[in-house]
Structure 1
Amino acid sequence: MKLTASIRWIFISSVRCALAAMLAGALLAGCASPPSGGVHVVDRNSRDRVTSGQYIVRRGDSLWSIAFRFGWDWRDLARVNNIPPPHVIYPGQTIRFTRQVPRAVTARPTPPPAPPATTTPPVVATPVPTPPPLTKPGVAASKAPAAKTPVKPVTRSASGWAWPAGGTVIGRFSSNGSLNKGIDIAGELGQPVLAASDGAVVYAGSGLRGYGELVIIKHSDTYVSAYGHNRRLLVQEGQQVKAGQTIAEMGSTGTDRVKLHFEIRRQGKPVDPMQYLPKR
């Protein structure tokens, strides 16, 4: 009986050890190698692009500002809405957000206008011009006027970008579309805000909610940069600027403290500015 009990105990112990070894091996294998299939990688920045619905153009809008607001590349938005160069849009015009290019619609014959009931002159919609695109990265169109503000010598990164302001970075980029699409730089009220690279000013105003007084600069057909929460804007749409040129004064419009919100967008999608700016 004693020998049988000893053998039984040894057998049970051996089975337990074998099961433990098998379980540990399975866990290590699961940690050591990723699954071979069935994994769906999500580009979180893709959440920024609105792909349904529509927007009615208001006075002060441009194709650039609308594309920036809704996460689009301006060329895609123009193509989807059949907006030819020089990309002029009008207040009251409908901008659609869809991935499919709409089919051409045969225009209906326009009926003759009815005689005016009063002598009040008709209201004519004023077109909202969009600055023409640059032909090469960082190269300005020759006919566009240059901004007259001071240009400060700046250090550029290998990719050609310079810091838009001095100060501490207090907000970092997040790839989650619901969080920070750029970086926040603390500074003093009225501190100069500088263009981060050569380009053309395609938006200067306060029409984009959450950005306050905002400047958007187009550097090439691929990249634009944005500078938000300024106290005062010193450049106008259509002007050419150089890297290090003063474009605004730092402020707190649209936010709770003095800071510069700076973004770089590649083909309409936000990217981390810290990957483009020179190391400090």
Structure 2
Amino acid sequence: MLTLSRSLRPLLSLLLATLLVACSSTPAPVTGPTPAGHYRVKAGDTLYRIARANRQSVSNLVRWNGLKSADAIEVGQLLRVSPPDGSRPSSGSANTTPRPTPTPTPSSSPAATPILLWPGDGALLYRYDGQRRKGIGIAATSGSPVKAAAAGKVVYTGDGIRSYGLLLIIKHSNGLLTTYAHNAKLLVKEGQQVEAGQTIAQAGSTGTDRIMIHFEVRRDGKAVDPLPWLPER
């Protein structure tokens, strides 16, 4: 196993500490009455789904609620879904585009979300909820290929977090980290550069009770819903 560079050690320490906290605690959702023209975020919601249900655009909801990005919502959060003071929205939304346009600079705009590749071909077992589940589960068979969601550098391999089993983390040039958990066998090493779609591991059940791929996307160290980053299927 290669030794991590000094510049990557703080990043990996922070990420692993975040994963440990996620495994051991679940914040209580905020509850209370929902005023007219507002919506309280539920587990599994995305800003796109909320916008579509209320016939608004994602950009309007981001602006009206002062969000840093389209991913910056949490369970229990109260969102304004109608124009402030009854004014007309600046753009229509009933026909908002379901997937943002790919771009090489995703951090420049909330809507500039690159499309990643699915790490496995199996059915979706569970969704990201931002609390107990920081990623999605993908069904797999023993030894089936686990593929890199995008080109990048392997920055961690190991089993230091029991509930994640044999874990692999890739750092991408756009500032994203992707994690692949519950592997049976790793096929790449720390420090290795990988290509999008490259087989990086074999699926297994380490750290869980069934064969599967647990997949996470992290931006600036914070877990975000992977589904808006993946092509629909």
Scaled to the shorter chain, the TM-score interval is 0.5 to 0.7
2:124 paired residue number: 169
Separation in structure 1 between the aligned mates of residue 204 and residue 189 of structure 2, nearest angstrom: 18
Matches within 5 A, 1:36-75: 62-71=9-18
Pairing of 1:80-99 with structure 2 (within 5 A): none
Q: TM-score, normalised by structure 2?
A: 0.55
In the other structure, the counterpart of 2:95 is: none
1:216 Cα shift? 0.1
Q: Could you say what secondary structure the match of 1:204 adopts?
A: strand
Superposition deviation, residue 221 in structure 1: 5.7
Which position in structure 1 is the counterpart of 2:140? 187
Match of 1:207 in 2: 160
- Taking only the aligned residue pairs, the percentage that are identical comes to 49
On the 8 A contact 1:228/1:262 being kept in 2, the answer is yes
5+ residue gaps in structure 2? 1-7, 20-103, 106-112
2:206 matched to 1:259? Answer: no
User: Which one of the candidate residues 245, 253, 258 is aligned to 2:198?
Assistant: 245
> Aligned-pair distance for 1:175?
1.8
Q: 1:62 to 1:212 in 2, by over 3 A?
A: farther
Q: Which amino acid aligns with 1:164?
A: P
Encode CA deviations 1:53-75: one digit per residue, 9 max, x unaligned.
Answer: xxxxxxxx943432212239xxx
Provide the C-alpha distance between the structure 2 equivalents of 1:239 and 1:160, rounded to a whole number of angstroms. Answer: 22
Q: How far does the alpha carbon of each residue in 1:135-185 deviate from its partner, in whole angstroms, 9 at most, with x for none?
A: x98xxxxxxxxxxxxxxxxxxxx7141000000110110122xx1000000
Residue 220 (structure 1) shift:
2.7
Partner of 2:58: none
Q: Distance in 1 between matches of 2:142 and 2:135?
A: 20
The alpha carbon displacement at 1:210 in A equals: 1.1
* Conserved? CA contact 1:62–1:203, under 8 Å: no
The residue identity in structure 2 corresponding to 1:270 is A
Once residues 258 and 65 of structure 1 are traced to their aligned partners in structure 2, the CA distance between those partners, rounded to angstroms, is 26
Q: Which has the higher strand share?
A: 2
Structure 1 runs, 4 residues or longer, greater than 2 Å off: 61-65
1:251 maps to amino acid = G
Please give the alpha-carbon distance, in whole angstroms, between the structure 1 residues aligned to 2:176 and 2:139. 24
Q: What RMSD in Å do the two structures reach over aligned CA positions?
A: 2.4
Q: Is the 8 A contact 1:64 1:202 kept in 2?
A: no
Change (3 A) 1:199 1:228: same
Change (3 A) 1:64 1:214: farther
Give the drift of 1:277.
0.3
Give the corresponding residue for 2:149: 196
Q: Distance in 1 between matches of 2:183 and 2:11?
A: 19
Q: Distance in 1 between matches of 2:127 and 2:148?
A: 19
Q: Per the alignment, in what secondary structure is the counterpart of residue 18 of structure 2?
A: coil
Measured at CA, do residues 221 and 279 of structure 1 come closer, stay the same or move farther in structure 2, by a change above 3 Å? closer
In structure 1, C-alpha distance between the alignment counterparts of 2:138 and 2:128, rounded to whole Å = 12
> Cα 1:275–1:160, aligned 2, differ >3 Å: closer, same or farther?
closer
Q: Secondary structure at the match of 1:70?
A: helix
Q: How many residues matched?
A: 137
